[in-house]
Amino acid sequence: MSKIGSSTKVKQTIKEQDFYIKKKFGQNFLVDQNILQKIVSTPTITENTLIIEIGPGMGSLTEHLIEKGKHVLAYEIDKDLIPILNENFNDQELTLINDDFLKRNIDEDIKNLNMDFDHVCVVANLPYYITTPITIKILEESTMVKEMVLMMQLEVARRLTSKPSTKDYNSLSVFIQYKTRAEIALKVPRTVFIPMPNVDSAVVKLSIEDDIYEKPNNEEHFFKLVRASFTQRRKTLVNNLHFNFQKEKEYYINVLEDLGFDSRIRAEKLAVEDFILLSNTLSISNKNKE
**Series of mean pLDDT values for 10-residue runs along the chain (290 residues):** 64 67 73 94 95 94 94 94 90 92 98 95 93 96 97 96 96 97 97 89 95 92 96 94 93 96 97 97 67
Residues 184, 203 contacting (CB under 8 angstroms):
yes
Specify the fold of 219-289.
Answer: Helicase, Ruva Protein; domain 3 (1.10.8)
Gap between the Cα atoms of 25 and 40, Å rounded: 23
Its CATH architecture, for the domain 7-208, is 3-Layer(aba) Sandwich (3.40)
User: What pTM, to 2 d.p., does this model score?
Assistant: 0.90
DSSP conformation class of 216: P
Gap between the Cα atoms of 22 and 97, Å rounded: 19
Helix (H) or strand (E) holding 148, with range, is strand 147-153
pLDDT at 196: 86
* Residue spans per domain, the chain: 7-208, 219-289
pLDDT at 28: 82
Residues 51, 121 contacting (CB under 8 angstroms):
yes
pLDDT at 16: 63
pLDDT at 290: 45
